[in-house]
Amino acid sequence: MSDFSIQIINANFSYNENTVVFNNHNLILDIKGDQKNKLYGIIGPSGTGKTTLISILGGQLNPQQGEVLINNINIYKVDDLARRSLISMQMQTATSLRGKLKYNILFGLPKKEGEIVYENSYLVEILVKVGLWGLFEAKDGLDTLIGEGGLNLSGGQRQRLNFAGLYLRAKYFRPHLILIDEPTSSLDELSEKAITQMILDLANDALTLVVAHRLKTLDEAVGIFDSSLINSKKDMIFYSRKELQLESQYYRDLIDGNAVLEDYNHLT
């Protein structure tokens, strides 16, 4: 991977006149091509712009003002195929398509007649890693029907299935940027550990930004952005843990055990 940068310049974004998220905010993150670990985290209280930030970087939301640049390319001025080569993403809401399991996890990958994108054995390997293969093996394997008329999955199972799809897309497209919104929020400790290891694998190849439900997910993160600082700072900065401890009361409360990520309401 060559040197890489993401920039948000003077961004304004609001859902309505009473819900202003960004007001002339900026973000600059430069990554050296030889940097081995490219995992960065995003934390913060509910409603402080974490998912909005990921959605803007992924091209799903367009700021009313400002620019979003990936390697100096405006992501809103490229087509879907070009954007897919730059960015892979998984949002917080875990949804599963209806139909066969194999179709679900290969969704978003190219379909060319006669081309095998991934061997079935590799798909099984990934499903084993995310802790789902035992469930599907007991049914019809990769041909297991999901949804209406088939197997109904729990929230955590849907989340793991969606992550498996993201992992496969990222390995195929080799994007520069991977965006993951709360990948372990519905998972038990064992599943969380497995997903975290796969995220670290992705972060060896691409800049990987993770909105974290638990700090443990970010144990290996190079830097962390705390959205509780949005109201007091126009520059969105990814701090080291030591720096963030000095900057953020929210983060200090987290590591002292006086707050939890999902329901803390104090803004610094």
pLDDT in tens, the chain (268 residues): 678 899 999 999 999 878 889 999 999 999 887 788 899 999 999 889 999 999 999 988 999 999 999 988 898 888 887 887 889 999 876 665 678 999 999 988 887 766 778 999 999 999 999 999 999 999 999 999 998 777 888 888 888 999 999 999 999 999 999 999 988 777 778 888 899 999 999 999 999 999 987 888 899 999 999 999 998 999 999 999 999 999 999 999 888 875 555 544 433 3
Residue 67: name the closest of 24, 16, 3 by CA: 24
CA dihedral sign of residues 95, 98, 100, 103: negative
One of 1.10.3210.10, 3.40.50.300, 1.10.4160.10, 3.40.50.150 is the CATH number of 4-255, namely 3.40.50.300
Instruction: Give, to the nearest 10 degrees, the angle between helix 120-129 and helix 155-173.
Output: 130
46: which residues sit within 8 A by CB, 6+ positions away? Answer: 262, 263, 264, 265
